[in-house]
Amino acid sequence: MARRRPTSHDVAKLAGVSRTTVSLVLNDVPGVNISPETRQRVLEAARQLNYYPNAAARRLVSGQTHTIALVWHRGPDRTYRDAFLPGLLQGITRAARHYGYHVLFRPIDPDESDDCYVELARGRHTDGLILSGPRSDDTHLLDLHRDGFPLVLHGQLPGTDIPSVDIDNVRGAALAVEHLLKLGHRRIGMITNAPLIYTASRQRLEGYRQALTQAGIPYDEALVRYGNFDEESGQQAIEALLALDPPPTAVFVASDMVAMGAMRTLRDRGLRVPDDIAIVGFDDITAARFIVPALTTVRVPTFGLGWTAAERLIRLIHRDTLQETHVLLETELVVRESCGAAVP
């Protein structure tokens, strides 16, 4: 800026009052009696000078930044996770705005050390942290938590009491499989979204098992193959499933991206979906609507995940107590064409 920014001093001078009064008026401090005329004079002076209080000074004196940060791990599941970013961020920023907070976005690339977000917290750039895709070997995280720094995980870290928000993967997967069972399928294969080191993968597999058990169908390991976030893994997995004798009549693919690969292979092989084989995905990425046949899938409430995480984090910052430490959000089955259910 060319000229010096106005300070509360300038406003005080122009209004003919002290800086104390300026602060009191501008912050609308309750329980203080200031004459309406004085109040008006201060407001007018501030407007005239186009005065905005310096955030740094405020932060210093209040000890609060009114900022929360989203730390976004970008691992091998990058493309997969990117699909959720807009919704999640939208949920976080909406909640933040509602409570008067700003949002800092901090992606962590695979080549970065895990602790690069620690400075954000310890250096008080932010009042709290949402960590998306937490690592179980992240000791800095536990240190921060131990020191009472407000933290919410997006995703799960088994065996910790750090508050977390996630979707109910088990239930979501069961939803998908139950739907296939209802359509009459008995021999249902599964392709996981990722290797089983990922919590979500294990949980979605668990949901598949539960739904089968519930229906009195024995779990058959041969019907399960492992995806790895991308199309190609879906192609390989479906090949293996097709090689079975007999092959499954339906497959639950626990990731839309992986399902895209599976469907490509089926098409290349001249197999029709859902007539020859039914498919249900998971995630509801944008492409699920557009592919032919349109993919029946399990929708992830990205906005709700973001809103809930931010809302709980701000609670923590305010030293409110959380009712429950871990929150699981419900998913929703979106029935389209690939499952073979009649679409109205």
Partner DNA sequence: CTGAAAGCGCTTACAG
- Cβ atoms within 10 Å of 334's Cβ, excluding its own: 16
What, of its own copies, DNA, none, does residue 50 touch, CB below 5 to 8 Å by kind? Answer: its own copies
Binding residues with its own copies: total (CB under 8 A)? 50
Stretches 78-86, 174-182, 272-280, 316-324: which one binds its own copies (CB under 8 A)? 78-86
Q: Please list the residues that pair with 10 across neighbouring strands.
A: none
* Interaction between residue 260 and its own copies (CB under 8 A): yes
- Least separation, in Å, of the C-beta of 197 and its own copies? 24
| 65 makes contact with DNA (CB under 7 A) | no
CB of 140 to DNA, least distance (A): 19
Report in angstroms how near the CB of residue 119 gets to DNA at its nearest.
Answer: 13
Q: Binding its own copies by CB under 8 A: which of 7, 19, 43, 53?
A: 53
Choosing from 13, 19, 66, 264, the residue that interacts with DNA (CB under 7 A) is: 19
Beta carbons within 10 angstroms of residue 227's beta carbon: 28
Q: Is 291 exposed, middle or buried (0-12, 13-18, 19+ CB in 10 A)?
A: buried
Rg, C-alpha atoms of the chain: 26
Q: Which of 1, 2, 61, 243 binds DNA (CB under 7 A)?
A: 61
Name the segment binding DNA (CB under 7 A); options: 52-60, 274-282, 300-308, 334-342.
Answer: 52-60
Q: Which among DNA, its own copies, none contacts residue 22 (Cβ within 5 to 8 A by kind)?
A: DNA
Is residue 85 close enough to count as binding its own copies by CB under 8 A? yes
- Dihedral in degrees, nearest 10, Cα atoms 302, 305, 307, 309: -150
Residue 145: burial class (beta carbons within 10 Å; 0-12, 13-18, 19+): middle
246 Cβ contact list (under 8 Å, min separation 6)? 187
Min dist CB 186 to its own copies, Å, is 29
Question: At closest approach, how far in Å is the CB of 174 from its own copies?
Answer: 26
CB under 5 to 8 A by kind: which of DNA, its own copies, none does 260 bind?
Answer: its own copies
Stretch that binds DNA, among 59-67, 127-135, 223-231, 278-286 (CB under 7 A): 59-67
Residue 66 binding DNA, by CB under 7 A: no
Asked if 343 is part of the footprint of DNA (rule: CB under 7 A), the reply reads: no
Residue 58 — φ and ψ, nearest 5°?
A: -60, -45
Residue 270 found at the interface with its own copies (CB under 8 A): no
Compute the least distance from the CB of residue 217 to its own copies, in Å.
Answer: 31
